[in-house]
């Protein structure tokens, strides 16, 4: 039986008015879950160009399609974060992906933070990577992982004030990456280190990337440039060749670390004691305050961790710690 056109019109009008936020809720749409790993930016001397994805830490973003717009429905985080999609990196990345896809449609997001913001572990980049991946997945996976780096990095730029992909790229691709150029974006996955063990110590202080960039030297000497370039190049070779020993002797930074070390109380002593405890190298992760020490022997890792924690305790700095390895998968769908 056909409905009278007038009744049909009234029914449509009724649903338009009384379905709460009807552009938001598409009850039939399924939620998907995406994980994006935490990352170590710079990997020592490779300021803004080298980056590495790590295991056991990262953000989860749940997403589903809606008719239009980008909405952040929930944020589960120890720290307050904005749910304004124009200011949250997940919201910005999702918006950028929709813009690139140039399609009708939107997404609704739930963000589950797996690491603190301002810790130097690519927290904002992980949310951006997960949201970009999820949005692309919901709309037919038209973009490759590599193509998702740009929208995720644009989101990262909003919070850090600068355009660099050393967190977004490894979070999306896994392993270690190198950014040759930002615009146009040119990123290469360089490989992995199968026996690298990292001891991560995160002091419970917040260092905002923007602030940690503002204190960097405007000029450096030719000697410092050559030193950092040589070490960064060898780190690239080490990841490409899966050569831990080459990596261990190249984890040296004479430009950025000296400037940022003073933001981390006890840094020099913690580094020295980690090396004494058997670490093969120590560096600041991203813009800090997380510090990482490296070894290829599991039994040494606990010893190094203990030495670093005890040294920070002497400076009355509370810390989280984690022993981890390279994440080779990058951002992925969780089933
Ligand atoms: N390359 C960036 C910096 C990474 O060191 O400022 C921030 O995690």
Indicate if 176 and 46 belong to the same structural domain.
Answer: yes
Cα 4–chain centre separation: 56
104 labelled catalytic: no
Q: Tell me if the pTM is above 0.85.
A: yes
Using an 8 Å Cβ cutoff, are 82 and 92 in contact?
no
**What is the extent of the structural domain holding 312?**
197-324
Handedness of CA 172, 239, 159, 262 (dihedral sign): positive
The residue among 176, 191, 206 that closes a domain is 191
297 labelled catalytic: no
Q: What is the pLDDT of residue 209?
A: 85
List phi, psi (to 5°) of 296. -115, 15
**How far is ligand 1, taken at its centre, from the CA of residue 248, in Å?**
21
Q: What is the pLDDT of residue 22?
A: 40
The residue among 128, 159, 191 that closes a domain is 191
Counting as low any pLDDT under 70, the low residues of the chain are 1-28
The residue among 171, 191, 211 that closes a domain is 191
CA gap 231, 68 in Å, rounded: 48
Indicate if 210 and 184 belong to the same structural domain.
Answer: no
Q: What is the pLDDT of residue 105?
A: 94
Indicate if 38 and 173 belong to the same structural domain.
Answer: yes
Q: What is the pLDDT of residue 10?
A: 47
Is any atom of ligand 1 closer than 6 Å to the C-beta of 243? no
CA gap 70, 283 in Å, rounded: 38
Indicate if 167 and 248 belong to the same structural domain.
Answer: no
Is any atom of ligand 1 closer than 6 Å to the C-beta of 208? no
Q: What is the pLDDT of residue 141?
A: 96
Q: What is the pLDDT of residue 160?
A: 82
Indicate if 182 and 255 belong to the same structural domain.
Answer: no
Indicate if 262 and 173 belong to the same structural domain.
Answer: no
Helix segments in 161-262, DSSP class H: 168-173, 209-214, 222-241, 244-250, 256-260
Residues composing the chain:
335
Residues with Cβ within 8 Å of 121's Cβ and at least 6 positions away in sequence, in order, are: 38, 39, 40, 54, 57, 115, 200, 202, 285, 286, 290
Of 120, 126, 287, 288, the one to substitute when testing ligand 1's pocket (max ligand atoms within 8 A of C-beta) is 287
Q: What is the pLDDT of residue 299?
A: 95
Domain count, the chain: 2
């Amino acid at each position: 039986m056909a409905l009278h056109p007038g009744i049909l019109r009234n029914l449509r009008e009724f649903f338009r008015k009384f379905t709460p936020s009807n552009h938001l809720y598409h009850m039939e749409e399924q939620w998907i879950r995406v994980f994006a790993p935490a990352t170590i930016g710079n990997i020592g001397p490779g300021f803004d160009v080298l980056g590495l994805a790590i295991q056991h830490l990262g953000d989860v973003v749940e997403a589903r399609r809606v008719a239009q717009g980008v909405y952040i429905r929930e944020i589960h985080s120890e720290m307050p974060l904005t749910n304004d999609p124009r200011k949250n990196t997940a919201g910005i990345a999702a918006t950028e992906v929709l813009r690139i896809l140039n399609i009708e449609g939107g997404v609704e997001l739930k963000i589950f933070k797996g690491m603190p913001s301002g810790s130097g572990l690519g927290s904002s980049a992980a949310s951006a990577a997960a949201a970009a991946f999820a949005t692309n997945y919901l709309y037919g996976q038209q973009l490759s992982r590599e193509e998702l780096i740009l929208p995720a990095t644009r989101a990262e730029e909003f919070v850090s004030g600068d355009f660099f992909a050393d967190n977004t790229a490894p979070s999306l691709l896994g392993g270690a990456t190198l950014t040759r150029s930002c615009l146009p974006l040119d990123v290469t996955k360089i490989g992995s280190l199968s026996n690298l063990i990292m001891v991560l110590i995160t002091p419970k202080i917040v260092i905002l990337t923007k602030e940690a960039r503002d204190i960097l030297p405007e000029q450096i000497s030719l000697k410092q440039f050559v030193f950092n370039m040589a070490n960064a190049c060898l780190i690239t070779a080490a990841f490409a060749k899966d050569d831990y020993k080459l990596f261990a002797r190249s984890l040296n930074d004479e430009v950025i670390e000296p400037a940022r070390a003073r933001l981390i109380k006890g840094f020099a002593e913690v580094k020295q004691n980690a090396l004494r405890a058997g670490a093969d190298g120590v560096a600041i992760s991203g813009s800090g305050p997380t510090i990482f020490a490296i070894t290829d022997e599991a039994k040494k890792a606990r010893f190094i961790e203990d030495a670093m924690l005890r040294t920070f305790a002497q400076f009355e700095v509370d810390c989280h710690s984690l022993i981890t390895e390279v994440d080779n998968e990058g951002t992925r769908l969780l089933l």
